[in-house]
Amino acid sequence: MFRFAGTAGPYSVLSVLSTLAAPPSPARPALTRTAYWIRLLPALAALACVTRVPSFVRPLWNPDEGYLAVQAGLLAHGGRLYETVVDRKPPLVPWLYEAAFAVCGSGSLTPLRVLAVAAQLLTAALLASVARRRWGDTAGRTAGVLYLLVSVGLNPEDAQAATFEVFILPGTAAAVWCADRGRWGAAGTAVACAFLAKQTGGAVLLPVLWLLHRRAGAGPGTPVRAGAVRLVAGFAAPVLGAALVTDPAGFLFWTVTGSTAYASLAGSGPHVLGRALANTAILAVACAGLVPPVLRVLRATRATAADLWLWLASSAAAVVLGFHFFGHYYLQLLPPAALLATAALQLLPRARLTSAVLTSACCCALFLAWGLYAPRPELAHAQRLATALAQRTTPADRVLVWGMHPETYWLADRTPASRYLTAGLLTNYSGGRDGPRVGERYAVAGAWPVFRAEMTARAPALVIDDSRGEPYRPDRLPSLRRLLTGRYEEVGRVDGAVLYARIPRG
């Protein structure tokens, strides 16, 4: 049991759960705001730490973490985002990694794991505040606890990684929190923060606009137009600032206009459909305690929680956008789902609340066990590649890992020879696309001329072909095949990956 001593006396995660399940006591006075949060926040913090324990047991969870770690290292050594360091994402999370590495060093992702815990705690606290304002003290505790219990309800490599979607969540919750209180400038800034963590974070703008629209029907004199102006200004200022700090044209291209080939279902329909069904089923297990109460009072909550349904719908659209259905995309669904379940439980007998919390806790325990004990073969593969890479090169050498595991650069502490950290940007290979939509012609516009120039100006000392028979293998790519032929020779193999060393000139 986690126990904290505060001004309100000892408090723990288990005591929160027991309080949720206990019948109401008419003789007990309502807590003041300060006493309420002094009691609740330490318990939510303990629960957030417990649910994120698996994230600390592995050096790295997925290639997105590796990509961000390599980006942060390049930025720290003078790289420029959207010029010499590129990705299809906004800049907030790369900057966060860069700042964490500047303070704590770049050898470990532990500081980012701590920040991820803080992000989940902040999200839970904001949801608790929204629920308490609408439905009372118990609802606040319910929303915070339910959210944290279901927050790990995906494949651990999706739920435990400190990547884009985790850092979207506080911004989305803050946007709804601010809009619920009519703080439109702050709501716009919160939407911008979510968008700058990842583009799909901007989906929360829909429920914010609904809450603004609802103010229009609140009576004469409601300053809806002024609120809309503040909302737009609050959103535009951070986004324009980020564009100006980086490169406006590059920011627009890499975050909006340059991903048309990526956001396509063509060529991978069956595979993508299978992933969508699998991740939906996994999330349904995690939300087994939330779905039944929502369905039981569906009609009532459609009227009383319209903004929450819009939030859920816009988040679902964000999951669908791009037709990739990776598990971490589903994290955006969890904050509105937790609030909708809380709203439903206010209309049901107390026993339903007990059942929802206990079911969610049991499911959470299953996902934590999965995270602690499931093997990660791809991480082991990347570690073996990194060992071979470090043995055959020096820290001053530039290298090229041709594959989908940018973490190899970070694990080996070697500098990439190209701004394109994976083969995906140069071939459109992502998430299991099959051959017909993978190749040089499907690359990010203008990428291959830049890549060829990089390979000429700073030829890598070692090339690792980690394609292992996938559609982006070198024999299907004329430019890469020409690079290797005559200039490199095979010097080894690791788990099916081929190592090529540069042939010394005569």
The pair of structure tokens assigned to 330 is 């589903």
pLDDT above 60: residue 9? no
Phi, psi of 355, deg, nearest 5: -65, -40
- Find out whether 423 and 439 touch, Cβ atoms under 8 Å: no
Single-letter residue type at 83: E
The residue with greater pLDDT, 172 or 375, is 172
Cβ density class 435-449: b for 16+ within 10 Å, e for less: eebbbbebbbeebbe
User: pLDDT digit string (tens) for 136-194?
Assistant: 999 999 999 999 999 999 999 999 999 999 999 999 999 999 999 999 999 999 999 99
At 25 the pLDDT is 47
Residue 317 has pLDDT above 90, yes or no: yes
pLDDT at 11: 45
Give the model's pLDDT for residue 1: 33
Q: pLDDT by residue (tens digit) across 28-83?
A: 455 688 899 999 999 999 999 999 999 999 999 999 999 999 999 999 999 999 99
pLDDT single digits (tens) 227-272: 999 999 999 999 999 999 999 999 999 999 877 666 665 556 777 8
Kindly state the average pLDDT of the residues 339-367.
96
pLDDT of residue 4: 33
Q: Is the pLDDT of residue 17 over 60?
A: no
Q: How do 9-12 and 3-6 pair as beta strands?
A: antiparallel
Tell me the residue type at 480: L
The closest of 457, 448, 442, 461 to 420, measured between CA atoms, is 448
Q: What percent of the chain has pLDDT over 70?
A: 89
Min mean pLDDT across 5-9, 334-338, 373-377, 391-395 is at 5-9
Q: Is the pLDDT of residue 24 over 60?
A: no
pLDDT reading at 10 higher than 70: no
Query: Which are the contacts of 309, defined by CB distance < 8 A and separation ≥ 6?
Result: 301, 302, 336, 340
pTM of the predicted structure, to 2 decimals: 0.91
Structure tokens at 492: 């080894």
pLDDT, tens digit, 9 for 90 and up, residues 186-238:
999 999 999 999 999 999 999 999 999 987 655 555 578 889 999 999 999 99
**Any idea which residue has 């989908």 for tokens?**
404
450-456 average pLDDT score? 95
pLDDT at 506: 59
* DSSP reduced 3-state for 450: helix
Mean pLDDT score of the chain: 90
Over residues 430-455, mean pLDDT: 85
Summarize the confidence of residues 381-407 as an average pLDDT: 96
Instruction: Please say whether the dihedral angle defined by the alpha carbons of residues 157, 162, 164 and 168, taken in this order, is positive or negative.
Output: positive
Separation of CA 495 from chain center: 29
Instruction: Answer left, alpha or beta for residue 496, where phi above 0 means left and psi between -120 and 50 means alpha.
Output: left
In this prediction, residue 300 carries a pLDDT of 79
Q: Are strands 398-402 and 462-465 parallel, antiparallel or unpaired?
A: parallel
